[in-house]
Amino acid sequence: MTEYRIEEDSMGPIKVPANAYYGAQTQRAVENFPISGWRLRLPLIHAMGMVKLGCGTANNDLERLTKTGEKPLSDEQVAAMLEACEEVASGKLDNEFPVDVFQTGSGTSSNMNVNEVISNRAMEILGGTLSKPKKADEKEIDPNDHVNMGQSTNDTFPTAIHVAVACEIKNRLLPALRRLADAFRQKGKEWDKIIKTGRTHLMDATPLRLGQEFSGFARQLELSADRAQLALEAVLELPVGGTAVGTGINAHPELGGRVAKFLAEKLKIPFVEAVNHFEANAQRDGLVSSHGHLRTIASTLFNVANNIRWIASGPRCGFAEVQLPSRQPGSSIMPGKVNPVMSESMMQVAARVMGNDQAIVISGASGGQFQLNIMMPMMGHTTLESIDLLASSCEAFVDFCVTDMKANEKHCGAGVEQSLSMCTSLTPLIGYKKAAEIAKKAHKSGKTVRQVCKEEKILDEETLKEALDPWRMTEPQA
């Protein structure tokens, strides 16, 4: 049987698991929100620890912790509190955050969860027990009065969301997108001499080189990385310092700026204090904007993955211009069948992220009134999910698809001469109307454009050879 201790908050006593670092308010949230079983994503928990560290450091530097309040903390107590903050930020206490994502819309339950964990862990560091200081006459390190000093959930929770999103974009998504871009760029160089049939509207078009096609994929990923950077920049303003409604009540006037500077230096990301705390507390437009860029990245990845799925179709009766690495059996009934599973995985990820964006947009537009948005836990969780999915999908696509992808030069070249769009290069020489007639005759007779031109002596041999040179068609001509 689970052992409990009795904790109290402003609503009275409640049973809390005996060994839990969290306290009464966290336990109430656990009981109130048995909704999804999804806890806040760990990057957000770690960011909350980092924000608490920044606030505690700033309050200590401003002598708010040691020289104000009913009974100020000692230097030793402050050091223990900051050490506990660092433990939350570094992931040492990850199991202590059980509150469901779908909780109070400001994130108060999770903010107090963090405050309680830091409070109790700090007292333990000092030799006390959970919820009790070492000495009977010593003031406890209080989750509200000390850990949450000069703060409100309404400014620190969205600050933590911004910090977590920026860190995950910087440390995970940007490297993953750039790595995928590099992988495509390398394939583009390797396959620059392979000519294939272009396709528009799924129909035959003029020739291009397989390397050129993959250079296009690489550029799409380069631009996606640029958009990820914009997504990061959209969350650089931090609401901390605005407290409950943006006025900064109970906070030192320098707190917001000091915390933003602390986080910028610590995390090597140029965070700044919000220009206007009323906007920063009430609106989540920066997060909406940030996720909008993630949606565009998802759209790009869907497109690239689907294109590769198409050009790899086969292996005998499709385009089969590239051969994908075999990752697993593709059918429970058709022996030997292998499917483009990495493309399909990425396309599902992209669809999920695009769906997530709708949730973020709705939450930003109508999730709050007056001075507070009340959809923040879901918005933070969902944005971090999107970043995680996009980054993981890009990494897997490089490792399990692009790196070992092979070009099928024979299949690429087989259809080039048969394409009716070969007549496009004749247009400057004989005009569009005449070239169209040749294409129609070739299609009706089953002959190539070259054969029809030779039979009808459209051009002399040397001019025709140059005009219908597939390689020449892959680049502009002076």
Provide the annotated active-site residues: 201, 331
Structure tokens at 251: 């906070």
Any idea which residue has 């050129």 for tokens?
212
Tokens 């565009």 correspond to 296
Instruction: Supply the pLDDT for residue 136.
Output: 52
Burial grade of 4 (CB within 10 A; 0-12, 13-18, 19 or more)? middle
Nearest to 168 by CA among 46, 349, 257: 46
Confidence at residue 274, expressed as pLDDT on a 0 to 100 scale: 98
Q: Where are the domains of the chain?
A: 4-142, 154-190+197-412, 417-473
3-state secondary structure of 220: helix
Q: What is the pLDDT of residue 128?
A: 85
**Fold exhibited by the domain 417-473:** Ribonucleotide Reductase Protein R1; domain 1 (1.10.40)
What phi and psi values does residue 21 have, to the nearest 5 degrees? -75, -20
Global pTM?
0.96
Question: Which residue in the block uniquely carries the two structure tokens 């990923």?
Answer: 221
Token pair belonging to 405: 């992808």
Greatest CA span in the chain, whole angstroms? 108
DSSP secondary structure string for all residues of 113-163: HHHHHHHHHHHHHTT-BTTB-SSTTSPP--IIIIITTT--HHHHHHHHHHH
- CA-wise closest residue to 361 among 308, 297, 312, 288: 288
Q: 271, exposed or middle or buried, with CB in 10 Å at 0-12, 13-18, 19+?
A: buried
| Beta carbons of 179 and 394 less than 8 angstroms apart | yes
∠ at Cα 123 (119, 126), nearest 5°? 145
From 1.10.275.10, 3.40.50.970, 3.30.930.10, 3.40.50.300, which CATH number describes the 4-142 domain?
1.10.275.10
Q: Strand 12-17 to strand 195-200: parallel, antiparallel, or no bridges (unpaired)?
A: unpaired
Q: Whole-angstrom Cα distance, residue 105 to residue 377?
A: 6
C-alpha span between 308 and 56 (Å, rounded): 51
Q: Token pair 């202590």 is at which residue?
A: 96
Overall residue count recorded for the chain in this entry: 478
pLDDT at 130: 77
**Phi-psi map region of 141: left, alpha, beta (phi>0 left; psi -120 to 50 alpha):** beta
Whether the CB-CB separation of 279 and 287 falls below 8 Å is answered with: no
Neighbours of 275 (CB within 10 A): 8
**What is the DSSP code string of 372-432?**
EES-HHHHHHHHHHHHHHHHHHHHHHIIIIITT-EE-HHHHHHTTTT-GGGGGGGHHHH-H
The answer to whether 96 and 40 have CB atoms below 8 angstroms apart is no
First to last CA, the chain: 84
Question: Which two tokens mark 406?
Answer: 């092979």
* 25 to 62, 112, 132, 139: CA distances (angstroms): 29, 7, 17, 20
The one-digit pLDDT tens for each residue of the chain (478 residues) are 469 999 888 899 999 999 999 999 999 999 999 999 999 999 999 999 999 999 999 999 999 999 877 779 999 999 999 999 999 999 999 999 999 999 999 999 999 999 999 999 999 999 987 766 666 555 689 999 999 999 999 999 999 999 999 999 999 999 999 999 999 999 999 999 999 999 999 999 999 999 999 999 999 999 999 999 999 999 999 999 999 999 999 999 999 999 999 999 999 999 999 999 999 999 999 999 999 999 999 999 999 999 999 999 999 999 999 999 999 999 999 999 999 999 999 999 999 999 999 999 999 998 889 999 999 999 999 999 999 999 999 999 999 999 999 999 999 998 899 999 999 999 999 999 999 999 999 999 999 999 999 999 999 999 999 999 999 999 998 7
Give the separation between CA 213 and CA 170, rounded to whole angstroms: 28
In order of 52, 126, 304, 428, 441, the CA distances from 256 in angstroms are 12, 29, 42, 66, 75
Residue type, 268: K
Q: What's the CA gap between 130 and 127, in Å, rounded?
A: 10
- The rounded distance, in Å, linking the Cα atoms of 135 and 121 is 16
154-190+197-412 classified as CATH 3.40.47.10 = no
Q: What is the pLDDT of residue 1?
A: 47
Question: How far is 296 from 354, CA to CA, in rounded Å?
Answer: 8
